[in-house]
A and B are shown apart, each in its own frame.
Chain A
Amino acid sequence: MTRWPRIRAGLRGAPPAAPPDEATAAALAERMAAAAQTRLGRSLAVCFLDAGSCNGCELEARMLAGAVHDLERYGITLVATPRHADVLLVSGPVTRAMQEPLLRAHEAMAEPKWVVALGDCAIDAGVFKGGYGVLGGVDAAVPVDLSIRGCPPTPGQILDALRALLQANATA
């Protein structure tokens, strides 16, 4: 309270305000955007894609949506199309037949996008390495950002990985 008269006096004698520095404004805007991302970006839309799995990973991924693990409480939602997804969660060794559908799904996603390889097969084709119908791990078709080990990974492990991605997204 006691400072206010002094400030007012200082303002009265101050030179007219110069227009704000453009570079500073741009930097601030960037920081604002980052802060907004931290506060508002705590959600992740995940699209699941089976590129050749034995359906073991699907069984465990399906448990995520259930009442026990309930991934929606972390702001993670399963979406039905790659067009709505931030993350493509890919299971299985990529079969030669599924290479093109996987590429098309990846292309359909909006930037920024992440690919998560789910399970040992998705990492390096697992036990199916060398099968004539197998192209390889997911990185043989599209760039992979995060891998989740396990055959199949437990719902807890999948959830931990997705939450780590969420955290990285928020603090990036």
Chain B
Amino acid sequence: MSEAAALIRAAPALPCAPWPRHLLTAEAWRALAAALPGQPALALLALWADSGHVHALFRDEDTGAILPASVAVAAGAYPALSPARPAAAWFERMILDLWGHAAEGGTDARPWLDHGRWPVQAPLSPRPVPVGGPPEPPGFLPADGPGLHVLPLGPVRGGIAEPAQLRLAVQGELVVRLETRLGWLHKGTLALLRGKSPRAAARFAARLAGDSTVAHAIAFARAAEAASGVAAPPRAAMLRAVMAEIERLAGHLADLASLGQAAGFAPLPALCLPLREALLEAAAAAFGHRLMMDCVVPGGVAAAIAPGGEAAIAAALTRLEAALPALARLHDGSGSLLRRLVGVGVVTPALTRALAAGGVVGRATGRAVDLRRHPGYPPYDGLDVPLPSRQAGDADARVRQRLDELPHAIALLRELLAGPAEGAIGVALPPASGEGIGFAEGYRGDIWHWLRLDGGLIAACFPRDPAWLHWPLAEAAMAGGAVEDLGLVLASFHDSCAGMDL
């Protein structure tokens, strides 16, 4: 066990299922922050807060141990982790905006979600401050230098895209730096979740990011179940996995289509979108909703597969499987496409490790990370989940990674559907008090939900979308790249804005 992990484990453990949360003193937290630079294996997965504490979720990449750690906020501040973990910077800015806790010694204290348009400051703190006066103009990093100019884009970006403000510091045709400013979609979801029962709050969890509605709903439901001390029945876990794998296939196909569009390569969307449509129609036939929104609920699933649904899914899978060779040929045999993809938008394994990236982005740099395998959760713990990976870390590797994952998801779906089809599809959650962490592997990457229940109602919660760790990597991948590749690189990462704008 590493020194930093030992520091966390030495602190008193508070009940949190399935992993106890360690409450560190300010000194121990400072020692942890000081030890982190020498302990690259301790990955920071999330950083968030409640009214009195700041919480961090670590994973020891050597042992696979998950370590939640907390520190009390003293005089409105806590020792920052961003000098040791670059991923912490955006979380620290978010914590300052939502709860008003300042990161002492942090690398960046500029507002993130708060654009000065809300009626109050620090809306999640016990005493939000009413806002007076007009909003301040956003502070972007300075871009001064010979021959340097700034290309401002967004928040309305044209096409069907989520709002994000992008600043490209450009020298000729080369991008020196991409800076992103998000928060345009901030609705105040965490405040809406507070005081609701998990069942009522699940509608919000399903709408954190529509593209990963099933994965977010599963992670949220599992957190609520862990906090209440119950588990979803095996049949419900199986049905959840069926939905999650359909979402994975449909998501990868959508990403491949938008990559083709960004590369100006029309055959790719022309092939992928009808296949995606067939999957969505099958999902509608089986679960009553094309995106399967609100089909996963805390305690289980809303309904079993409708009559005829399994046949519809099987037909969509057969059609997709038959198209896989054509899809691979189209990608591998098209020099015009490969020229746009190979060597473009490269992130190094060292960088994805530093950012603890999961999903396609992490696996395309050789990282063997997949929550379905490790830590594992039902029903995947009883199945063989293959873990393909690529090494190159460029846009092409991310395309290949998505193509590689398609046949495995098809095989998993067939195995799940062939299993026994009886048993309860849900349990009622008792009105319990407790704390839990839930997780699920979405098609974009690992999703984590933490929540604390008080008498069966949500007292505090935080969802961690994969985009928190992937957007900074997209920024890094653009440095040194060409301006014309921006759309392509962003499509190859596919970073959601809604999931992290909360």
Contacts and interface: CB of A to CB of B under 8 A. Distances in A.
Interface of A: 47-63, 65-69, 78, 80-82, 92-93, 95-99, 101, 105, 127-128, 130-134, 151-152, 154
A130 B192 CA distance: 8
A134 B187 CA distance: 5
A50 B209 CA distance: 13
Contacts of A65: 160
Contacts of B258: 62
Contacts of B276: 63, 66
Contact of A62 (B120, B160, B183, B293): B160
B204 A127 contact: yes
B163 A101 contact: yes
B213 interface: yes
Contacts of B120: 132
Given A128-B189, A132-B120, 5 more contacts: A50-B163, A55-B210, A66-B277, A131-B187, A152-B210
Which residue among A57, A81, A92, A97 has the maximum number of chain B CB atoms within 10 Å of its CB?
A: A97
Interface string B491-502: 000001110000
A59 B158 contact: no
B18 interface: no
Interface stretch (B68-76, B111-119, B340-348, B380-388): B111-119
Given A59-B211, A98-B185, A131-B192, A53 B158 contact: no
Closest 3 CB pairs of A and B: A56-B210, A66-B273, A80-B158
Given A66-B257, A66-B274, A131-B192, A57 B210 contact: yes
Contact of B187 (A58, A93, A101, A154): A93
B183 A54 contact: no
Nearest to A108: B156
A54 B158 contact: no
23 contacts: A53-B498, A54-B208, A54-B213, A56-B207, A56-B211, A56-B293, A60-B291, A63-B273, A66-B270, A66-B276, A67-B274, A69-B277, A82-B156, A92-B185, A95-B184, A95-B187, A97-B115, A101-B184, A105-B156, A127-B207, A131-B191, A131-B192, A133-B118
B253 to A, nearest CB: 10
Interface residues of B, number: 47
Secondary structure at the B interface, as helix, strand, loop or mixed, is loop
Contacts of B254: 59, 62
A12 to B, nearest CB: 66
B30 interface: no
A55 B496 contact: yes
A96 to B, nearest CB: 4
A116 to B, nearest CB: 14
Which residue among B117, B211, B257, B496 has the maximum number of chain A CB atoms within 10 Å of its CB?
A: B117
Contacts of A66: 257, 269-270, 273-274, 276-277
B59 interface: no
Nearest to A49: B156
A54 B496 CA distance: 9
B320 to A, nearest CB: 14
Interface in B130-183: 155-156, 158-163, 183
A83 to B, nearest CB: 11
